[in-house]
Structure 1
């Protein structure tokens, strides 16, 4: 191992990570874009609030189901091929969604997008475990989430402007074409580990000995992760936190701001954009704080407590209509607090066998998308049932109460998270 090889490793890993995180930006765009084009979709396909919410969830259900297969693919096929194929699938789905003549075809396009993008994040976590030091894992996860969330920010006000100029159909077709280009670049540039380039492994650079534990087969590894009781608290915390956040920013937030506060359709997404930017910043900050403190649980409790308080303000202050002057800071702080779930990935990885990092993080990742899949349709049914009965403020307060409950329950499960002190403790948990 020469100094030149180490320098090349430390340089090239940023090319690998940078390209994968561009694919992750596309993931976040699709995750949040549907909320901004709600009115256009309702008008184009003549659908109810429940159907609209189900169209949004059509992304999350396949995403959720694909998390364990994503982990298996990341651990077996490798990140390079997995992300290439997934992003190509998302490209086809986005183009199909843009051209959809009926709501059924729109659902198919949305499902294809969900399947395609579902593999990207777990592949990034796998690559991080091969190209970055263990002490950098939470920081890199936070930075990844920060950059990815910028795609969510693009799916707010910028998307509203693009739709106004080019129509929603043209916009989604263009995103599909861009996705295809990114998929090709991933295949050409990304490498699964430094060994694929004849470079020293990250363990050898750190001066660590190779793991002597027997590596379990993939099926056995999955069972071990599922039977490990320490896997589930971060899973359930992620369910509550991310489900509530996506119900607001990914489905119903712009409608809430339009109907309760009377904001124009081009202005309302500014507020959800602020929430997403808060999440982006929080993801970067909480990962760094955790790595510096050598603690996972304490930052999760602090940030998570803040998140629950912000939901309490949104639901209970002013009868469900807080003063407009506090909305920007409230939404921003809510996003920062929601970043708690970032540390859940590290916790899941650090309480399970180090050779199956893809599987362990994918299992935890299911939690967030379970919440994001089931909560928005619950709110949709409330809107369909009470839309003609309740005034808008009362209606949204009733609906958002479920978000508050989800967030509060997620916070409770943080108390059951096992503190790892930022290192793998699998031997201790056997």
Structure 2
């Protein structure tokens, strides 16, 4: 790996790490802000999910901006919104202001994942992308670890508002490093007019190849992140009867397992492709194992809790291989928009699933802030059913991915 490639990997991974911390920080904050503001499960689900709504809503313009101005500039600039958002969130004394802060955070980190994948695609050969994408996801997964036991420990001596202030400073540091140190990515700056690039996004959305590759992954990723960033903690406390520290430890195990899974599946994908196993098929197997793991958790399989939740983390991130699948079927000039369009759909589903779980739980009365096991099982059963339906679409025979997608050349901008 060259020094330029190393800088690309480290700096854009740092951006995604920040994004991931923001994604799951309410997992640790939940008992505190619920107590402070008297929130119901539905309120908490809506508040937390606004991150994903802001993230999703910014994806289409983010993809266009990434392809027009480059990953370095766009990521550094948008992270400023995330810093402002966490400061608003931490200073808020009403649900409405907290919602505004959470929405700003989502907008601010909306390009971090797509920018990382785009920068990697421009600096690494295609055969290495599954592994490099997996490594970026692993660094992000470290953010998932940090919102488990480490955050619980910090909250024993620092208030959640102080943690918000510190996260804002960290975000500014990462933004500054990206702006000053990250290399300029080639063949992105002002390559085409913004209007032409929006047409490219429409081309992606009309593509059968895009929807075929995305079908199973968007649903499994939506479920994984909706649960990991909020509701797994409630499941562990309400259904498994764990104390907050025990639940936080399992959340950290899940995060570490996701890191290992992202790296392991990325490396295995490249190795298996050399033996004739397609990336598409390998990704599908990993996602199917994720669904199986959820069923084992739901039905209380007689296995150690740490093992089950580690499996949840290992297999939960396999759908991310779809980014590498799609990178091989669309022209290079569409890479940013393909990535952000896929991310848009995933995060819209996370938003919907997170609100939906909260709404289902709220159909049952809470006792001392806890919901009955039947409520959690009902919510998760719906999510599993949706994943099974998407899996059927994924495995149905089709010709959409038989050959690469072609696009007429985009005209350079006069600007």
Q: Same fold (TM over 0.5)?
A: yes
| Number of aligned residues | 397
Compute the displacement of 1:322 (Å): 4.3
Determine the structure 2 residue equivalent to 1:257: 236
Compute the displacement of 1:411 (Å): 2.6
**Unaligned 5+ runs, structure 1:** 1-6, 197-215
Is 1:298 aligned to 2:281, yes or no? yes
Determine the structure 2 residue equivalent to 1:414: 394
More helix by proportion, 1 or 2?
1
For 1:165, what is the secondary structure of its paired residue?
coil
Contact 2:201 2:337 in 1 (8 A): yes
Contact 2:76 2:178 in 1 (8 A): yes
Contact 2:12 2:178 in 1 (8 A): yes
Determine the structure 2 residue equivalent to 1:26: 18
- Pick the aligned partner of 2:136 from 127, 132, 144: 144
Determine the structure 1 residue equivalent to 2:192: none
For 1:385, what is the secondary structure of its paired residue?
coil
Provide the rounded CA distance (Å) in 2 between the counterparts of 1:188 and 1:68.
26
Contact 1:67 1:363 in 2 (8 A): yes
Is 1:103 aligned to 2:91, yes or no? no
Determine the structure 2 residue equivalent to 1:13: 5
Determine the structure 2 residue equivalent to 1:204: none
- Pick the aligned partner of 1:378 from 356, 380, 384: 356
Determine the structure 1 residue equivalent to 2:373: 393
Provide the rounded CA distance (Å) in 2 between the counterparts of 1:426 and 1:195.
20
Is 1:361 aligned to 2:339, yes or no? yes
Residue pairs, 1:162-173, within 5 angstroms: 162-173=154-165
Determine the structure 1 residue equivalent to 2:294: 311
Residue deviations 1:46-66 (CA, integer Å, cap 9, x gap)? 111101000111000111121
Determine the structure 1 residue equivalent to 2:191: none
Deviates more, 1:292-301 or 1:23-32: 292-301
Provide the rounded CA distance (Å) in 1 between the counterparts of 2:272 and 2:401.
12
Determine the structure 1 residue equivalent to 2:412: none
Q: CA RMSD in A?
A: 2.5
Provide the rounded CA distance (Å) in 1 between the counterparts of 2:84 and 2:271.
42
For 2:283, what is the secondary structure of its paired residue?
helix
- Pick the aligned partner of 1:66 from 53, 58, 61: 58
Determine the structure 2 residue equivalent to 1:350: 328
Provide the rounded CA distance (Å) in 2 between the counterparts of 1:38 and 1:425.
45
Structure 1 runs (4+) greater than 3 angstroms displaced: 388-391, 416-421
Provide the rounded CA distance (Å) in 1 between the counterparts of 2:284 and 2:7.
34
Determine the structure 2 residue equivalent to 1:207: none
Residue deviations 1:237-271 (CA, integer Å, cap 9, x gap)? 23211222123211111122112222211221211
What TM-score do you get using the length of structure 2 for normalisation? Answer: 0.89
Contact 1:235 1:366 in 2 (8 A): no
- Relative to structure 1, is the Cα distance of residues 97 and 391 closer, same or farther in structure 2, using a 3 angstrom cutoff? closer
Compute the displacement of 1:353 (Å): 2.0
